[in-house]
Amino acid sequence: MTSVNITTTKNTVTVNGETRVVTVQTQGPQGIQGPQGSAGALGGVNTDFTGKVDDSILYYHASSDTLKLDNTTTKLKLVDGGNF
């Protein structure tokens, strides 16, 4: 088995006499931001997902300036009884 000599100082790691500068970064937030499952704001527009049901379709309600998920606009309601 080979012996490895490791030393560290601020921002550098030395392994067997070879020194490298190390920069540590934390990854920022990923994906869509905003509260999950409750009223909140997303991209400057209010959101209301409190009434979401299976197969809800996201839509914009202009009079309340809100993106909504609820039982009034679902996949079934668009296909079964929708005006095309």
Q: What is the pLDDT of residues 16-68, one digit of tens each?
A: 888 888 787 777 776 665 554 444 556 678 888 999 999 999 999 999 888 99
pLDDT at 38: 45
Residues 6+ apart with CB under 8 A from 36: 49
Of the candidates 3, 21, 5, the one whose C-alpha atom is nearest the C-alpha of residue 13 is 21
What pLDDT shows up at residue 37?
A: 44
Other C-beta atoms closer than 10 Å to the C-beta of 47 total 20
Q: Which residue has the tokens 């409190």?
A: 50
